[in-house]
Every structure is written in C-alpha cells, then in structure tokens.
C-alpha cells in the first residue's frame, strides 16, 4: 500500500479523533463559562475558609504535571512503539482497540499499526489536559480564586493545540514511518 492509499484510509479515523478532542474542548469550555457566569451565592463554596486557596494551588500543580505529561508522552511511547512496528510485532492493548475503524488492508501495514499508537497517544494526552482544566474549574467554583480560571484557560489552549489536522497527522506519519524504516535491520 503506497503513501497516498494510507492517507486516504486514515481520513475517517482521524476525523473521529478530531471529534473526540472537539468534544473535550466543548465540555471543559462550557463548564468554565458556566462557572464564570454563575454568581458565587449559587455555588456551594464562596471562598476558602482558612484564607489559603489550597485547592487552587493543587490545581496549578496538577496543571504543570499535565502539561509536562502532554509534552513528554510522545517521547516515552514512540521509541518502543516504533521498535515493535519495525520488528513486525502486532499491536496490543489500547493501540489495538483504536485500530478498530481501519480497513483490513491497512491493519497489516506500518501505517495501520502506527495509527493505533497515534490515536491512543492523542486521547491520553487530551485526557491529561482536560482533567486538569476540569480540576481548575472546580477549584474556582469552590474557592473563587482568579488564578483558577487562568489555569483552566491555559489548559484549554493546550488541549486545542492537540487537535489533529490532516496536514499535521500526515507530517507526523511521514516522519514516524521514516524512523521505522531506519530502525529495521537491513535485508539480506
């Protein structure tokens, strides 16, 4: 299967990833807007009881962890995934489940194997960031600290930057497929 064939087959599955990330973005953004427009009296918390916004500090710390995880995950996942694909070993676990929408002729290719890894990585990275953004919104609802919506907004932007564009996915696949070919032992 040549490069154009796999790109054509990936359009539908990539569209599903776009819908997943868009749904994450919509949910957390709607929740943030709701928290910002509701008066404090309608919310359970009206500020920190002890004077220290502990929940806000915790959400800011988690936000840092989520952003580092979002950036570090590809470097942690991809070397072993490329090595597995180069050896010809089949996908397992979540990556295999994410390949369910691919046509059978694509499943047997490096691109098909790579899609499962890409989809798994995209969803995990999105969930890390979305969780932090939701945490920040809840912190704002409880403590009404102005730092919390800022943290949520930063994480929403980080989530939006994960939105898979067709050109970006094709660029990523081209790079990863080249690295897989370089990792393969020479044929005799």
Q: How many CB atoms lie within 10 A of CB 53?
A: 21
Average pLDDT for 135-149: 93
List pLDDT tens digits, range 42-96.
666 555 556 788 999 999 999 999 999 999 999 999 999 898 888 887 766 665 6
Exposure pattern of 167-182 as b/e (b: 16+ CB <10 Å)? eebeeebeebbeebee
CA–CA separation, 165 and 167 (whole Å): 5
| Most confident by average pLDDT, 1-10, 37-46, 85-94, 164-173 | 164-173
Six-digit token string for 6: 């796999």
- Please check the confidence at residue 36 and state whether its pLDDT lies above 80: yes
Domain spans, the chain = 3-183
Six-digit token string for 82: 């490329």
- Residue 107: pLDDT band by 50, 70, 90 thresholds? confident
Average pLDDT for 9-31: 92
Give the pLDDT of residue 99: 64
CA–CA separation, 27 and 30 (whole Å): 5
């Amino acid at each position: 299967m040549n490069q154009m064939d796999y790109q054509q087959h990936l359009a539908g599955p990539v569209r599903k990833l776009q819908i997943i990330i868009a749904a994450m973005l919509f949910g957390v953004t709607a929740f943030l807007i709701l928290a910002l427009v509701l008066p404090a009296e309608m919310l359970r918390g009206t500020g920190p009881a002890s004077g220290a916004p502990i929940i806000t500090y915790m959400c800011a710390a988690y936000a840092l962890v989520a952003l580092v995880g979002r950036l570090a995950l590809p470097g942690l996942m991809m070397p072993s995934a490329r090595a597995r694909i180069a050896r010809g070993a089949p996908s397992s676990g979540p990556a295999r489940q994410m390949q369910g929408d691919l046509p059978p002729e694509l499943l047997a290719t490096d691109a098909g194997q790579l899609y499962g890894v890409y989809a798994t990585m995209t969803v995990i990275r999105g969930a890390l960031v979305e969780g932090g953004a939701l945490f920040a919104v809840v912190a704002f609802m409880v403590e009404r600290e102005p730092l919390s919506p800022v943290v949520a907004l930063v994480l929403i932007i980080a989530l939006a930057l994960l939105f898979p564009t067709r050109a970006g996915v094709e660029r990523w696949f081209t790079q990863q497929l080249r690295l897989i070919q370089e990792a393969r032992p020479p044929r005799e």
